[in-house]
Amino acid sequence: MSSNIKVQRICQHCGNEFTARTTTTMYCSHRCNSAAYKAKKRAGKVEESNKHTQRVKAQPIEELKTKEFLSVTQVSKLIGCSRQNVYSLINTGKLKATNILLKKTIVRRCDLDELFTEPIRSPIPQTQVQEIKEWIDAGAFDIADCYTITEVQDKYNISETTLQNLIKRHEVPKIKKGWYAYVPKAIIDKLLSKTPKS
Ligand SMILES: [Zn+2]
């Protein structure tokens, strides 16, 4: 390969035209070269991670049920919610978990079961699991600790619009379940107890 030749080439990273000394040079600069290398490496990692997720997703649920130790992905699959939901359960202390390695969180099956053997709790629709944290903060995890919208209206004799505005203004966590929307008694009572009504 002669170093005297000059070839016009297109950089495969930035797309700019550049003068190369060989016909096989792919990048215009060292910078593009290393950027392309990093991008390729990153893509490889993403692919590997996606493959892993696919593998876990494809794992029969029956097989997961027999496992003593579970990854976050496996837990999410087992209980049918997102990984993010599992992390929020862990972060709020609801679900015990161990970091055996950096970025490797393991949940024991018995700890997962523990989550479901707590005092009777109504199942929360999957779509609202993300609000679990707010509910824990509000101290309301049982439907018995909640009012329906109608119950609040009856108790405090206010219109639905007034109540909805109050809920919005105070960012009261609201959970929809079937036909009903539930709000934590503790919060509502605190907000409305100024106007006692029996
Ligand atoms: Zn370039």
What is the DSSP track for 45-86? Answer: HHHHHHHHHHHHHHS-HHHHHT-SEEEHHHHHHHHTS-HHHH
Q: Each residue of 30-87: pLDDT tens digit?
A: 999 999 999 999 999 999 989 988 887 777 777 888 889 999 988 988 888 889 989 9
Q: What stretch of H or E contains 20?
A: strand 17-20
Q: Each residue of 10-25: pLDDT tens digit?
A: 999 999 999 999 999 9
Confidence label for 137 from pLDDT (cuts 50, 70 and 90)? low
The Å distance, Cα 4 to ligand 1 centre, comes to: 21
Residue 146 in this model has a pLDDT that exceeds 80 = yes
The Å distance, Cα 7 to ligand 1 centre, comes to: 15
The Å distance, Cα 22 to ligand 1 centre, comes to: 15
pTM: predicted TM-score of the whole model, two decimal places: 0.34
Neighbours of ion ligand 1 (CB under 5 A): 11, 13-14, 28, 32
